[in-house]
């Protein structure tokens, strides 16, 4: 959690600098830029928080996806995530090695594996949910409840307009095989990710 606190302190320092900086009159940052900036901040802070559970952001997302629709095949999940099967296999291998998921042969088509959380995976997902809730609270801390709800509605409207799949981070498309198989601790040693 120490790295998450350091990231929050850095973010707080940057915010203080930004507030004290003199903006040029008439210059206003665009909505798309602010979304990208906040998305990057949120993604990196979440990555640091989730690393305390020895998970990557991608692995936590796969756990949520499997929990939403247990028994789905690897192929269907790869399509939903928009990631090549080889990258998904690396994610699934890492989760299976730690006992969080299991692959079962599909009796209707033995070439396909159905994906399920194990009891250990369900326990891990509850811990991930706790981390995610704390993360969301920290990111939106300066907002009143009504503002937070309005922001959520507006962002949902934008996501719908752009055809984003609910609950699926677009970063899966750019995930490397090495990142897919990394542990949360291993992620910390890598160059920080910049996509939200």
Binned at pLDDT 50, 70 and 90, residue 21 comes out as low
pLDDT tens digits, one per residue of 32-50: 999 999 999 999 999 999 9
Between 3 and 190, the higher pLDDT residue? 3
Sequence ranges of the domains in the chain: 2-17+29-188
* pTM, two decimal places: 0.73
pLDDT at site 26: 58
Average pLDDT, the chain: 83
Beta carbons of 185 and 54 less than 8 angstroms apart: yes
Contacts of residue 54, Cβ cutoff 8 Å, sequence gap at least 6: 98, 183, 184, 185
The predicted-structure confidence for 50-60, as pLDDT tens digits, reads as follows 999 999 999 99
Asked if residue 117 has pLDDT above 90, the reply is yes
Residue whose tokens read 């991608």: 58
Q: Which fold has domain 2-17+29-188?
A: Arc Repressor Mutant, subunit A (1.10.10)
């Amino acid at each position: 959690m120490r790295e998450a606190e350091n990231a929050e302190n850095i973010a707080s320092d940057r915010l203080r600098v930004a507030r004290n900086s003199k903006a040029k009159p008439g210059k206003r940052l665009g909505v798309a830029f602010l979304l990208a900036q906040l998305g990057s901040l949120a993604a990196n802070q979440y990555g640091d928080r989730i690393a305390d559970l020895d998970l990557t952001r991608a692995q936590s997302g796969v756990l949520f996806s499997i929990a939403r629709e247990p028994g789905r095949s690897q192929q269907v999940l790869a399509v939903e995530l928009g990631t090549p099967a080889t990258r998904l296999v690396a994610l699934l291998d890492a989760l299976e090695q730690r006992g969080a998921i299991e692959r079962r042969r599909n009796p209707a088509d033995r070439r396909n594996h159905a994906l399920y959380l194990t009891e250990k995976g369900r326990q891990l997902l509850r811990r991930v949910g706790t981390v995610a809730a704390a993360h969301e609270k920290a990111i939106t801390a300066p907002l009143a409840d009504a503002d937070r709800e309005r922001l959520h509605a507006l962002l949902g409207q934008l996501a719908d307009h752009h055809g984003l799949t609910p609950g699926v981070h677009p970063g899966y498309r750019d995930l490397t095989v090495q990142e897919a198989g990394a542990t949360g601790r291993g992620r910390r040693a890598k160059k920080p990710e910049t996509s939200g």
